[in-house]
Chains A and B, each alone.
Chain A
Amino acid sequence: MDINWLDADYLPWLILFFPLLSFGIIVLFTARNHVLSQAVALAGIGIAWVLSLIEFAHVAWIGDLELGKEVYGSTTGWLDLGKNTFEMGVMVDPLTAYMLLMVPLACLMIFIYSRGYMHGDAHNSRFFAYISLFAGAMLTLVLADNLLLLFIGWEVMGFCSYALIGFWSHKKSAYQAGVKAFMTTRVGDVLMLVGIGYLLLEASAFFGAPTLSFRDILYNDAMLEHLVQTDAVIFGGSAAGLIGVLLVAGTIGKSSQFPLHVWLPDAMEGPTPVSAMIHAATMVSAGVYMVVRMFPLLSAGADYHHGDFSTPMIVMGVIGAITALGAAILAVGQNDIKRILAYSTISQLGYMVAALGVGAWIAAVFHLVNHAFFKALLFMCSGVVIHSMEHGEHQAEEHGYPHEPHDEPDGLVMDYCAPPNDVQRMGGLAHRIPVTAITMALGGLSLAGFPLLTAGFWSKDEIIAEAWHGAGEGYMLPLFVVLALLIAAGLTAFYTARMWFLTFWGQPRTPAAHYAGQGSFRRRWVRFWNRSRWGQQAALEDEPLPAADRGIMLHMEMPLVVLAVLAVVAGFIGIHKDILGVNPLHDFLVETTFDHADVLGFSLLPMLASIVLALGGLGLGYWVYGLRPLKQGQVDPTEKALGPGIWRVLQNRFYIDILYRDYLVRPVEWFAVNIVIQTIDKETIDGVLETVAETFNGLGEMCKRFNRVVIDGVGDGIPQSIGEFAGWFRQQQTGRIQQYLLFVTLALLALGALFLIQVR
């Protein structure tokens, strides 16, 4: 068989192969050598980036295919199922090609940045192995031509996020956050898997052979029609609706939508490049990408241009709008710089999901890619800030300031904020790390949707415009969406301004900020400042600042500049047709589906509304934090304005996390430990008799405990019984291999018996 691997049909295999290959090489061969591991990881993602550019060029210019109906790609038999073969393969259509522009590039920037950020960490190789796997899994997901391969990439990413969030696993809070992320997304994943299974069932029934290929299902009107006509097994409605809702549930977990949004803010426990990776290039984007990919199925049978929305769309619209607004409110009340950004991510993802809810999938993709660029930028900037602040803390101690004890809490605490991350303790950093200050300002403006210049503005505006259009026709869902999104837009602008001014503006509020490490171009910045208008009011002395490691800083600042440029210009390809006369992005992407949506006419009103809100929010932020920079010892004006009650609610994230912990996690834990393990995994040290006796004994214990819990109330009894039980239970893990084996055999016997009975 002759395969030209550089052919556009086979190239996708190579794109996803190289990052995975670097994972393998690092794990197997170079784990002991950090520098080599870094080089391998960079080479892997670099090659993937170049190849995806070639692939993009094929699809965009060189290719002569009728896009949408035909796509590049190749398949191979993967699983022989007797008569049929389950096919696996890759494909590249315009949507994939557009994602290929973003994912490898953002990953490459993050990899370069990680070289600086992870410098000196003892587990560099492990880190680079995981992020290579992460990138490879994301590329697998993007390039997959069927839902199962997509799901494999999806799950590998779930594992990687767990491993990377808990990367500093000696910190209790880190591994708890890792587990939290994994378990929370798992809820969505399980539902999604059920959806995939159901879809496979229906597809097998329709085609007579099992398939999950996008081309078979999504570009096949007969198949979609079949799904719409079939009644769902439960809950009424059509099969398409049920499958759609289950798939959307996967996105709710992966893209951190309400009510499964709780894991993302805690994912900040991982190293900052990981946050950038999760928030921008990979994890959360995957969720949105999946629903965009499945959009023909999700919107099957609906005529959303005329106010007829399918169930999955309603779910997406409502949840997206709630998430966008709720997360924006929460972001206002945070002090941890990374947590502010985390909530802004949740909020922006809410925009995308809501956009899909009203049918604006092109706008959603547009915003997805722009968001990836500016959010990666913002996270990496925050990493530099934190790095610089940590440096400052050490320096402050050396200059005789008393060491402020970090009483790190034991595990995850909702309103705890690590000192180097606390924006209240920063201030004046612009003069210390000017490159970061400027690039972060650009990223922030893009996030806030600064009119006409930034990428964030164009994509956000398109979402709002489409929802506005629907609302203008008098449909309820778009009306709800547009209201929530507009309010959120204003809040976004405000909290972005608050974050930036608190971090960079004014005078340092703590010794740590005063001695913060210095970045490139600092002296030139100070000279520039002193000549400027602000400099005449408050001239800076060119005080010698302790230099953070130059090489590290440079490594971290280089990707920032690249991404800052992208965060501005990436939006210009998607400006509305009526303004520039051509909209290359729309023309390119619209071929992805059969549904050639008529371009909505340009209307000035929504654009004016979003301009007013963005400028208003930014202006308010400047008025509150920029004109009179916060001084040492002052209380944050926002906190004062909101009052201590509301502030505490925001700091505790609406108490949703605590609610989950007390009423979901703990009871489940209790159930697992007390009932499942005690009765099922009980010991048989001295043979069967004792097992039986102990089981009954355990049941009695459980009843007793249950009584006491009922009587004593939930608050008191459960934690206590967990503690007691853990003490008892740890003695039951005997560590005797043969005993475990005995249970395995017993289980095998039971399964065999079950099988025999079934067969007869």
Chain B
Amino acid sequence: MVPLWMYLVVAAALFSTGLYGVLARRNAIAILMSIELMLNAVNINLVAFWRYQKPGDVSGQVFAAFVFVVAAAEAAVGLALIIAIYRRRQSVIAEDMNLMKW
């Protein structure tokens, strides 16, 4: 089998890619997509650890399934917010969303 650490490295790379996207992209939807990448990286970790350490116990899989649920909710609410903001301000650029500045 493929050694465990390879999966971890892939997950780390995916996570870092997502991190870069979150920090650097201007478009809020792009940021949201980057967050999805990060969530996927976490899921890879969860499943890999489950497979290598405790394949007899489904907890690892259940955990990953819950991450799916959270990701779905997050995407729904996040996109709704972005669309609502777009309606008001005609922009999806994260830097423009600075109403809290004083």
Chain A contact residues, CB within 8 Å of chain B? 730, 733-738, 741-742, 745
Q: Which B65-102 residues sit within 8 Å CB-CB of chain A?
A: 94-95, 97-102
In the complex, how many angstroms separate the beta carbon of B29 from the nearest chain A beta carbon? 14
**Across the interface, do B98 and A735 meet the contact criterion of CB distance under 8 Å?**
yes
A-B CB contact pairs (8 Å), 7 listed = A733-B101, A735-B97, A735-B98, A735-B100, A737-B94, A738-B23, A741-B22
B19 proximal to A (CB < 8 A):
yes
Known A736-B94, A736-B95; judge A741-B23 contact (CB<8 A).
yes
B23–A734 touching, CB < 8 Å: no
B19, closest chain A residue (CB)? A745
Residues of B within 8 A of A737 (CB): 94, 97
Cα separation A734 to B101 with both chains bound (whole Å): 6
Known: A745-B19, A745-B23. A730 touches B102 (CB 8 A): yes
Q: Which of B22, B99, B101, B102 contacts A738 (CB 8 A)?
A: B22
State the CA gap A745–B102 with chains docked (Å).
Answer: 24
Residues of A contacting B22 with CB < 8 Å?
Answer: 738, 741
Specify the chain B residue showing the minimal Cβ separation from A737: B94
A742 to B23, CA, bound (A): 6
Taking A730-B102, A745-B23 as known contacts, 19 extra A-B pairs with beta carbons closer than 8 A to each other, sorted by chain A number, are A733-B101, A733-B102, A734-B101, A735-B97, A735-B98, A735-B99, A735-B100, A736-B94, A736-B98, A737-B94, A737-B97, A738-B22, A738-B23, A738-B24, A738-B31, A738-B94, A738-B95, A742-B23, A745-B19
Measured CB to CB, the residues of B under 8 A from A are 19, 22-24, 31, 94-95, 97-102
Contacts of A733 in B (CB 8 A): 101-102
Using Cβ atoms and an 8 Å threshold, which residues of chain B touch A734? Answer: 98, 101
- In the complex, A730→B94 CA distance in Å? 20
Chain B nearest CB from A471 CB (Å) reads: 59
Q: State the CA gap A736–B98 with chains docked (Å).
A: 6
Chain A residue, CB-CB nearest to B99:
A735
A735 to B99, CA, bound (A): 7
Give A737 to B32 CA distance when docked, in angstroms: 13
Give CA–CA (A391, B22) in the complex, Å: 58
For the complex, give the distance between the alpha carbons of A738 and B101 in Å: 14
Please name all residues of chain A whose beta carbon is closer than 8 Å to the beta carbon of B31 when the two chains form the complex. 738
Least Cβ distance of B23 to chain A in Å?
6
Cα separation A736 to B102 with both chains bound (whole Å): 12
Q: Which residue of A lies closest to B100 (CB)?
A: A735
Instruction: Name, among B19, B101, B102, the residue most crowded by chain A CB atoms within 10 Å (CB to CB).
Output: B101
Closest to A733 in B: B101
CA distance A426 to B97 in the complex (A): 54
Q: How far is the CA of A737 from the CA of B102 in the complex (A)?
A: 14
Q: CB-nearest residue of chain A relative to B101?
A: A735
Tell me the smallest distance from the CB of B8 to a CB of chain A, in Å: 15
Q: Give the chain B neighbours of A745 by CB distance below 8 A.
A: 19, 23
Provide the residues of chain B in CB contact with A742, threshold 8 Å.
23
Complex CA distance for A649 and B24, rounded to whole angstroms: 59
Nearest-Cβ distance from residue A136 to partner chain B, whole angstroms: 31
A733 to B22, CA, bound (A): 20
B102: chain A residues within 8 A (beta carbon): 730, 733
Residues of B within 8 A of A741 (CB): 22-23
- Give complex CA distance A738, B95 in Å: 8
**A85–B32 alpha-carbon span in the complex (Å):** 40
Q: In the complex, what residue of chain B is closest to A732 when comparing beta carbons?
A: B101
What is the chain A residue whose CB lies nearest that of B95?
A736
Q: How far is the CB of B27 from chain A (nearest CB, A)?
A: 11
Complex Cα spacing A735 to B102, Å: 8
A730 to B101, CA, bound (A): 8
Write the nearest CB–CB distance from B82 to chain A, whole angstroms: 13
Closest 6 A/B residue pairs (Cβ): A735-B101, A735-B98, A735-B100, A736-B95, A742-B23, A733-B101
Contacts of B100 on A, CB cut-off 8 Å?
A: 735
Interface centre among A733, A737, A742, A745 (most CB of B within 10 A): A737
Which residue on chain A has the smallest CB distance to residue B98? A735
The distance from the CB of B13 to the nearest CB of chain A, in whole angstroms, is 16
In the complex, chain B residues whose CB is within 8 Å of the CB of A735: 97-101
Interchain nearest-CB distance for B48 vs A (Å): 21
Contacts of B24 in A (CB 8 A): 738
List residues of chain A with CB within 8 A of the CB of B19: 745
A742–B22 CA distance with the chains assembled, in angstroms: 9
**Chain B proximity of A746: nearest CB distance (Å):** 10
Contacts of B94 in A (CB 8 A): 736-738
- Bound-complex Cα distance A235 to B13 (A): 51
A737 to B95, CA, bound (A): 8
Which residues of the partner chain A approach B95 to less than 8 Å between Cβ atoms? 736, 738
A734 to B100, CA, bound (A): 9
Nearest neighbor of B31 in chain A, beta-carbon distance:
A738
Query: In the bound complex, what is the Cα–Cα distance between A738 and B94 (angstroms)?
Result: 8
CB distance from B96 to the nearest CB of A (A): 10
Cβ of B93 to closest chain A Cβ, rounded Å = 10
Interface core residue of B19, B23, B24, B31 (most chain A CB under 10 Å): B23
Distance A733 CA – B94 CA, assembled complex (angstroms): 15
Tell me the complex Cα distance, A738–B21, Å.
10
How many angstroms between the C-alpha atoms of A741 and B31 in the bound complex? 12
Q: Determine the distance from Cα of A74 to Cα of B39 in the docked complex, in whole angstroms.
A: 41
C-alpha spacing A738/B93, complex, angstroms: 11
> Considering the chains assembled together, what is the distance between the CA atoms of A734 and B98 in angstroms?
7
Residue of B nearest to A730 (CB): B102
A730 vs B19: C-alpha distance when bound (angstroms): 28
Tell me the complex Cα distance, A730–B100, Å.
12
**Complex CA distance for A544 and B41, rounded to whole angstroms:** 79
In angstroms, Cα B34 to Cα A745, docked, is 15
Contacting residues, chain A, for B97 (C-beta < 8 A):
735, 737
Q: Which residues of B contact A738 (CB under 8 A)?
A: 22-24, 31, 94-95
Distance in angstroms between the alpha carbons of A276 and B101 in the assembled complex: 39
A257 to B86, CA, bound (A): 55
Shortest C-beta distance, A731 to chain B (Å), equals 9
Nearest CB in chain B: distance from A726 CB, A: 11
| Docked CA distance A736–B94 (Å) | 7
Measured in the bound complex, the distance between the Cα atoms of B22 and A738 in whole Å is 7
Chain B: minimal CB distance from A735 (Å): 3
In Å, the complex CA distance between A738 and B19 comes to 11
Determine the chain A residues whose CB is within 8 A of the CB of B99 once the complex forms.
735
> In the bound complex, how far is the Cα of B92 from the Cα of A716, in angstroms?
47
Per the bound structure, the CA–CA distance linking A736 and B31 in Å amounts to 13
Residues of A within 8 A of B101 (CB): 733-735
